[in-house]
Every structure is written in C-alpha cells, then in structure tokens.
Structure 1
Amino acid sequence: MTATTHTVMNQPPPLAGYDVFAADPVLTEGIARYVADTRLDEVREELSTLGRAAGSAQAQRWGEQANAAPPVLRTHDRYGHRIDEVEFHPAWHRLLGHAVAAGLTDAWSRPDGHVRRTAGFIVWTQVEAGHGCPLSMTHAAVPALRAEPALAAEWEPLLTSRVYDPGLRPAAGKPGALAGMAMTEKQGGSDVRANATRAEPLAAPGEYALTGHKWFCSAPMSDAFLVLAQAPGGLTCFLLPRVLPDGSRNAFRIQRLKDKLGNRSNASAEIEFDGRSWARRVGAEGRGVATIIEMVAATRLDCVSGAAAVMRQAVAQALHHTAYREAFGGRLIDKPLMRNVLADLALESEAATTLALRLAAAYDSGTEQDRDFLRLAVPAAKYWVTKRCTPMVAEALECLGGNGYVEESGMPRLLREAPLNSIWEGSGNVQALDVLRALRREPAALNAFLTELGGVRGADHRLDRAIRGLLTELADLDGIEARARRLVERMALVLQGALLVRHAPSEVADAFCASRLGGDAGAAFGTLPHTLGLGAIVARARPVVEG
C-alpha cells in the first residue's frame, strides 16, 4: 500500500559532486601564498583533481563502507599457522590507494612538498579520517630513517612511492611500502623512557632481537615499524620489518585490535615481540628519543592538519544543510542567530587551516629561523587546534538538529573522530610541557616565535594587547607548569590572530580578534558581536555545489 504521507520536502540534497579544494578559499589562498608562481597552476590542478575525487559520491561511499566494516584480525590460517594479518574492507584499500597515488605519503622529494601535501591531506581526509594514520606514519618515518643513511637509501624510495601495494612480501620486491610506529607501552604511556622492551645485539652490526610488548601499534598491517626498545646503551630506535629478506614472516605477534571510540576504519593493535623479532638500529644506541622525535614532529603537524580537515568538513556540512533547510519562514542560514553560530564555526575552521599551512610552509623553507619557529609553534598548534575540534564539531552537528544525531548524516562519525588528534602523539599536557621545555632550553625558538608575531605589530589593537599579555605571562616563570595550558592556549591564539590579520579578509580577522583576543564573545559558539560582518564570513565558508 502506497504511503500517501511520505512526501520528502525541505531536506537538503547531499553535499556531493563538488571540488573540496576549490570550494575552500582558505586552502586556495594559502596555496597561492606559499607556492612559487612557476608551480602554482600545476599545484592547483593537482589539488583540484584530488578535491573533485574527495567531493564525489563514490569516495564518500567508500568512507561509509570502511567505517561500517572495521578491520578484522586473523591470527592463524585454517591450518593453524600463525599469520597475524589484518583484513580490511575493499573500500579502505581504495581510499588508501588513491591517497598514495596522490602523493600523500611524500612531502620530501618535491618543491613546496609540505604545503602541497598538507593541503592534500586536509582535502582527502575529509572523506574518511581513519586511513590518514598510515599516510601520516609513512610520510613521517622518512626524517627519522635519515639518521641511518643506509636504511634511508633502502626504504625512502618505497615510502615516498606513489604505488600502493598492500601485500606482505619482502620490501625489496615491492614497488611501494607503508610504515607504522610502536612506541607506547602499558606501563609508561607517553613516558617512553619507562619502556621495558629489550633489544639484544646480534652478530651482524646494527641488527638486534627484540623482546617485549607494545600497548599501541599504529597501522599494524604496514611493511615496517619504527620501534623504541632498551638496548645495552639505552633507549634506542629500531626499524622492524614485517617480512624478512628471505620471505619469512618476522616474529610480530598481534595480540588484539583496539575497540576504539572512533577512527574505526583504522587498525590499532597490541603487539608482542618474542625474542626472535629481528630489527635494525636507527641512529646511535641511547639516542632513541632524539631519533624518533623527527617522526613525532611530522605526525604532530598531521594532527593539526587532520583536526583542520574534520573541522572543515563539519562546518561545510552545517553550512550546506542550513542553506537549504527552511524554518520559521525562511532559510536557516539567513536567520541572525544561526548566522552567528555558522560564522563562529567558520572562524574556527579558517584559523585552524591557516595555521596548518603556515607550519607546512615553515617545513618547506628549511631556514634556521623557521626551524626554531616550528619548535614552539608545532606543539602549541597541536595543543590548541586539536582541543577546539571536539566542541566545534559538536556545535556543527547541532546545526543539523535531530538529523545531525543520525548516523546517516555522517556527523556522528566526525564527532567520534574529533578527540583523536588531541590524544595521538601526546595529549594536551604533553604538548604543554614540550612548549615549556623549549622555552627553557631553546631561547632561539622564542625569538623566532616573537619575530613571527612582530610582523603585524600595530595592525590590530586587540592583537597588540594580546601579545603584550603573552609577554607578561612569559616573563613570570613562577608556577609555570601549573599554568602551562593557559600559556600555550594564548600562544596559539595570538599566532592564529597574527596569521589572520596578515592574510585573511578584514571581516574574518576582525571577528577573530574581537572574539578570541578581545574577549567580546561568550564561551559557547554563536556569541560573536552582532555588529561584525557575519554574513560575509558565512558566504566565504559555504561550499557551493555547481548545478
């Protein structure tokens, strides 16, 4: 019997069939800012190609499928042989393969590489965030491996390859490879110096056998892993392949996959090394933290970029919904109170993306001043941008009302994903303490950070006042650890404000400085001063689907 009451009206069309890159002026303007003119057209076309794929209904379906069918651990084959394999839905492989082919595991071999990759990472991971983990690990393993030139020569071409080959075979016979990481142990967490995994030297120079347990192993289906273990000379970094050169499986035992809040398409595992786990040393014995910190710094930038991607997709969905949904006599997007909420969300998203691109550009420049700048800016940005992601996504979900609370909208998946980047690669306290460590030990880092702020002195009185307040905080070291979060929050906000004043349209910079630095807003989103140019901010952020 036909349901005569079931007439669909006042529902928005899907946000699909659009160019995720071209529809985001913050990304397009950032690329124009940081990419050399001679390469600009090439990079724009590269990112638009990726953006059109990311905005397609097909890619969106892949993301849904990969999350609906999480990975499955197969410890043994049908005959009882130990295999320790992780099976993924075909959609996961399609997402990861497309990303690898687009160069999202490589920022090291081409000009403007970090800016190009960061923009691409923000574009593509809006489809599905879970597969961003192996992309990030693989990309970030390269600078750590360079501490051992022979290993880098062997592995770097595979890790930066644009060929995705998920088969477990000896790396020498593969056209491309992925890397994971296994640092954390159950007794130590972020305190890796408490690690108990042992590394016993073997007869061949640089080769060791590992024994121990890792509480979190990222991307356990990868071809190789960077691992920290206690060698005779102290905590040391190692490269452990999944398959040995002779084709046999290394002793890499997957105990279980973690049942996580979000990031469900991605496998995170507990693993065991049983004394026969063969690994090669990376860097000198006792220099494990110093070696792997190069990887950590790169993945922390991806935490910022990943959070920016989640935020951008959340605000895009909120803007799209409210542009079509009518209530109380008009479109929601035109209602003054909803417009205030949407503008506030758009501000948060723009500030996050702008900061991520500036960090990427600093990596590309390679100057001593930018290296010093990154020493403070990366942990400060990682702390603040990832912290803002969860409340921002929750507010964007609310813009869809009850529809946003339903899984089909995609918003619950974004909300479950939102806290991840604040935890991964060191939670908030770890980032704040890292900033304090740099302030105490590396005065050049503070000089570079303040130089970055000095370029906009006098451009906005609220920003000037916030910088003076930050300097006062920095001058008072009494009880600094207890107020480290407050200090790092201010550092990140002032840096975001400086970047927006320098690069964003006046209405965006004005609203950010008024609300984030001038105190002219409440604690919740949607409390911006009504006299600001909120309509222009909303129009700038709205993704438009052609046709």
Structure 2
Amino acid sequence: MPATHEISNQVPDLVGHDVAADPPLLEGLEREGAGWAREDLHVVGRLAGSALAAEWADAAHRNEPRLRTHDRVGHRVDEVDYDPAYEELTRVAVEHGFAGAPWADERPGAHVARAAGFLTWSQLEAGHGCPISMTYAVLPALRAAPELLATYGPGLTSRTHDPGLRVPSTKRGLLAGMGMTEKQGGSDVRANTTSAAPSADGTYLLTGHKWFTSAPMCDLFLVLAQAPHGLTCFLVPRVLPDGTRNTFRIQRLKDKLGNRSNASSEPEFEDTVAWRVGDEGRGVRTIIEMVACTRLDNALGSAAGMRAAVSRAAHHARYRSAFGRTLLEQPLMREVLADLTLESEAAVSLALRLAGAQDRAPRDEHEAAFRRIGVTLGKYWICKRQTAVVGEALECLGGNGYVEDSGMPRLFRESPLNSIWEGSGNVNALDLLRILAREPASLEAWRAEVSGVDDRIDAGRKEVEADLAHADERDARRLTERMAVLLSGALLVRHAPTAVADAYVSSRVAGDHGQAFGTLPRGVDVDALLARLPDTSRSA
C-alpha cells in the first residue's frame, strides 16, 4: 500500500526531565527551611520525569487492583492484588521519606522536605499517594496511645516498603490506613453505628461496616466506632500478634471516577479485635491532628496535579505549531499559559507555606495558630482550583488532550478527588467558621500573614473583617475563598518576583480578571510569568 500520510507536527513524550526543576518549588523549599534537601529532591524529580516511572504510572492505572476474597481452597483472605508498578511507585515514596519518616527526623524542615518531595513525586501518579498520606497522618494520632506508638511507630516511620500481610512486629516497614466514614453518615462521623464492645483483656471487638476505606492492604487502620461512652478511635491491625487474620471482610472495591490505581474498599467488621487510641468518647478530638495532616496532603496533591497539567500544556505548546508559529508564540495561548502558571505557582507557594507551619508548629505559637486556619483555607481553595486548572490545561492540547495517551484525562479524573476527600468544600468552609468563633489566635495569625504587604490586600482584609461581624453559614464559602486568595496574594508579594505578585493581586485580589483563564489585566508581564514554568527540557 502507498503511504497515506507523514507524521509531523506531533509532540515528543514528556520524559527525560527533572520535575523538581521548578522555580516556585525550589524557592519554597529554601524559604521554608529545607534547603538541605535540594539534592534528594532533584533525585526524586529526575526519577519522576523518567520514561521508566512514566511506564509505572501508566501500568498502575491500566492494570487496576483486584479483590481476592478467598484463596484456592476456600479460606477467607480478603486481599487486594496490585500491579507491580504500583508497588514500585509506593516503594520510591517510602524510601524517600514521604510516608511516616519525618516524625522520626529531628532536622528543622523535615516536614517541608517531605512535602516538596511528595508534591514532586505526586505529579507522576496520585493513587499510590493515598496510603503514603494516611501513614503520615496516623502517627500524630497515635500519640494518644503511647504503648501503641512505641510498638508500631518504628515500622510506620521506616523508609522500607515491605508489602504483604504479616504480623506487623515482624515487618521492616508498615503502612497505615483509616476507616472513618459509613454509608449513613459520610462526613458526619458522629452518626457512625459501628459498635465497639470492651473485652476483659483491654481490647475491643468491633462490629459494623465502613463505606470508604482506601488502601485495604495497609497493615494497620485507625477506625472510629461507638464505645460505651461514645465515639472512640481504635487501632485495627489486619494481622493479629498471634499471626491470625483479624476479621476484615472486604465486600467490594469501589468503581471510581479516578484514582483507579488506589483500591477503595468496603470492609465489614464482626468481632474485629481493636485497641483503643485515646479516651472513650473522644474519637473526634483524637483524630484532629490526623485530619490536619491529610488536609495538608490534599493541598499538596492538588498543587501537584495543577503543576503536572500546566507542565504538559506548556510542553505541548513548545512543540506544536499552528498557522506558521508554535503555540507558545501565539498571543492568546501565551495569555492562557501565563494565567495557568500564575494560578499553579500560587498553589505551590501556599502549600509549602502550610508545610512550613506544620514543621514549626510544635515550637512556635504563631505557626501553630496559623497552621490551624491556613490548612483549612489551603485545603478548600487549592483543591477547588485544581479542576479548573487541569480542564483549561487539557484544552491547550486540543483533541490530543482528550486522548488517554496524552496523560491529561487521568489528571482530569483525579482533579475533583482532593476537594472531596477529608471533608468537602462545605465541611471545610464550616470548619473555618468554627475556627473563627473559637480560636481568635488563628484569626490573628492570618491577619499577621496578610497585613502590610500591599494596599489592595489590606483593603481586602478590612472587607473580610467587616463581613465577620455578621457572617453566618451562607457566607462560609465566600469568606473561605476570599481569605485564601488574600493569603496567597500576600505570600506572592512577600516572596515571588514582582511581576508575578502584581499579576496575582491585580487579577485575583483587585478583581481585574474574567471568568476564564487567559483574561489577565493588560500590562501584565506575560514573559515573566512564563519564565516561572517548570523546566521540562531533557536532563543532561
């Protein structure tokens, strides 16, 4: 047959680069006190940008987890089989300290280093990050049970990935999950009906059903259940100390929109052995620190998703031509990419600032107060922006972006997740109202962060303060958004190049911006914004 077409004007694969070669990321790493981790971050970045890692990410999603309820001869096993690529992604994350390792690292900036690495590695694939995040978040909750922390802490802070269900004390490394929500309650965990009956030996027997329990092959789970004195937190191991399997019957795996490399299950408990974490009736208070950590990772993960999408859009625009010029030379495309770059830089800067607060909170009162309100604001706003950013970035690729091979559909399917996980937008907005009412120090910390850097931000702050005098639930979302945008703007004014800060403040704070991306005010230095794009050139 004669040749029917020649292949030209197609974009090379985005591989062979350093994902960590990203100005806002590297500047934030230094600013928040973890410059010592730069070399390791680049090691992670080069691996995240490699062709091998791209193959892992693709395989982990195409070969989805499979549930095995029974073994060959009929024994109940309730195991989930993952593609080997998923285990490779998890191994890298654990070895580089993105799970529980920072809690055993006394260096200042350890949590910032972890956050920057997690943000970098998550750009490759988000699903395996679920057990990584949960392991990170479980450790502070275990402080309420010192004996359990002493027993399981070394495994949870290990940098060794040791998959498979065995007695936790015999393993070189552990991963932890959570079982909080039930079908009748969702975010209203106080409506949980799973019961916990105390036993004579100090353990409890749990009976009930959980609606969303992700990563069911983790070694340990924190679970909320109703004890005699109210909702209580418990630790549930998959394998008991005597080597027998704890009752953890997986009814099914969820068929989800995205995040498909990560198995999300419905486990059923029947006389499942559990150890109490914290006092009876204090379950919600026990998991507060855990919630703060997972919300931080929601923000980091969404910032990663944005940055990954913008990198792909910019890479496409550098190589694709139309009407005699590359897309990156087209004025409207430049406006869109500049606007997307600006939004994603604000997300990266805010997420790393929150990681800095996480790191310094134990020894700094301002940081502790700021962390409480800042994580709520960042989780709400960064996660909300992810879907809009990824959708616009996908459009930059045209029809090619709608094809699975481009990687954009997977990023788009992932984009709503973090806004839902660990409390939807409404839950976070209502949480902000509670913080404002009960924790005046947090409001003062926010005020200190945004004051005195720009007259337009100061004007916005005064408007917020006036609105607080009569705010009710209907105002919660508007307040959360406004406070997050002002905080992001103040961070950029303090730390980003002037052109970047002015573009953000004039468009997002002062309101000179349309409803779609690519509608920045006239006079914005587009070249300066595009210079902040990640460097996707091939590594040497």
TM superposition score normalised by structure 1: 0.96
Q: Determine which of 329, 332, 337 is the counterpart of 1:337.
A: 332
Instruction: Please state if 1:433 is matched with 2:430.
Output: yes
Across the aligned residues of Structure 1 and Structure 2, the Cα RMSD in angstroms comes to: 1.0
Question: Which residue of 1 is the match for residue 29 of structure 2?
Answer: 31
**Distance of 2:374 and 2:438 partners within structure 1:** 15
> Unaligned regions of 5+ residues in structure 1, if any?
none
> SS state of the match for residue 107, structure 1?
helix
Name the counterpart of 2:356: 361
Q: Shift of residue 544 of structure 1?
A: 3.1
The equivalent residue for 1:158 is 155
Which secondary structure state, in structure 2, belongs to the residue aligned with residue 210 of structure 1?
strand
Partner of 1:98: 92
Counterpart Cα distance in 1 of 2:46 and 2:98: 16
**Offset at 1:376?**
1.1
Q: Does 1:476 align with 2:470?
A: yes
The 1-side partners of 2:88 and 2:469 are apart by 52
Counterpart CA distance in 2 for 1:75 and 1:537 is 52
Q: Residue 108 of structure 1 aligns with which residue?
A: 103
- The counterpart of 1:495, out of the listed 487, 505, 509, is 487
Q: Deviations over 1:159-188 (max 9, x none)?
A: 110110111100110000000000000011
Equivalent in the alignment of 1:534: 526
Aligned AA (2:511): G
Equivalenced residue count is 534
Deviation of 1:219 after TM superposition, in Å, equals 1.0
Does residue 535 of structure 2 align to residue 543 of structure 1?
Answer: yes
1:13 aligns with 2:5: no
Change (3 A) 1:212 1:429: same
User: Is contact 1:319-1:543 (8 Å) kept?
Assistant: no
User: Equivalences for 1:88-487 in 2 at 5 Å?
Assistant: 88-105=82-99, 106-110=101-105, 111=107, 112-205=109-202, 207-274=203-270, 276-366=271-361, 367-454=364-451, 457=452, 459-477=453-471, 480-487=472-479
Letter in 2 for 1:60: A
| CA distance in 2: counterparts of 1:539 and 1:400, whole angstroms | 20
Partners in 2 of 1:512 and 1:237 — Cα distance? 43
Q: CA deviation at 1:114?
A: 1.2
Give the 3-state SS of the residue equivalent to 1:146 in structure 2.
Answer: helix
Alignment check: 8 A CA contact 1:373 1:449 kept:
yes
C-alpha separation in 2, matches of 1:213 and 1:293 = 22
Q: Gaps (5+ residues) in structure 2?
A: none
Q: Do residues 46 (structure 1) and 40 (structure 2) align?
A: yes
Distance 1:56 1:474 in 2: 49
Give the whole-Å Cα distance in 1 for the aligned partners of 2:72 and 2:473.
Answer: 55
What is residue 508 of structure 2 aligned with on the other side? 516
Which deviations, in whole Å up to 9, do the C-alpha atoms of 1:394-452 show, x marking residues without a partner? 00000000000000000000000000000000000000010001111111111111111
SS of alignment partner, residue 203 of structure 1 = coil
- The residue type equivalent to 2:32 in the other structure is Y
Q: Deviations over 1:232-260 (max 9, x none)?
A: 11100000000011111000110000000
Q: Matched residues in 2 for 1:333 and 1:354: separation? A: 25
**Is the 8 Å Cα contact of residues 340 and 530 (structure 1) preserved in structure 2?**
no
Opposite residue 498 of structure 1, the aligned amino acid is A
Measure the CA separation in 2 of the matches of 1:395 and 1:285.
48
CA distance in 1, matches of 2:314, 2:455: 31
Q: How far did 1:542 drift?
A: 4.1
Amino acid at match of 1:493: V
3-state SS, counterpart of residue 73 of structure 1: strand
Q: Distance in 2 between matches of 1:382 and 1:537?
A: 24
Check whether the contact 2:23–2:534 (CA below 8 A) recurs between aligned residues: no
Single out whichever of 101-110 and 215-224 deviates more from structure 2. Answer: 101-110
Residue in structure 1 matched with residue 66 of structure 2 by the alignment: 72
Kindly indicate whether the alpha-carbon contact (under 8 Å) linking 1:244 and 1:250 is maintained by their aligned counterparts in 2: yes
- The superposition leaves residues 251-308 of structure 1 with CA deviations (integer Å, 9 ceiling, x where unpaired) of 011000000000000000011001x200000001011000011111100000000000
Range with bigger deviation, 536-545 or 500-509 = 536-545
SS in 1 for 2:234: strand
Aligned-residue offset at 1:95: 0.5
Range 105-114 or range 144-153, more displaced: 105-114
- For each residue in 1:150-209, what CA deviation from the matched residue of structure 2 results, as whole angstroms up to 9, or x when unmatched? 11111111111011011110011000000000000001110000000000001112x100
One-letter code aligned to 1:530: R
CA contact (8 A) 2:450 2:457 kept: no
Amino acid at match of 1:4: A
Query: For residues 438 and 258 of structure 2, what CA distance do their matches in structure 1 show?
Result: 37
Query: What is the deviation of 1:5?
Result: 3.1
Aligned with 2:178: secondary structure? strand
C-alpha deviation, 1:464, in angstroms: 2.1
Which 4+ runs in 1 deviate beyond 3 A? none
Q: Secondary structure at the match of 1:20?
A: coil
SS of the equivalent of 1:8 reads: coil
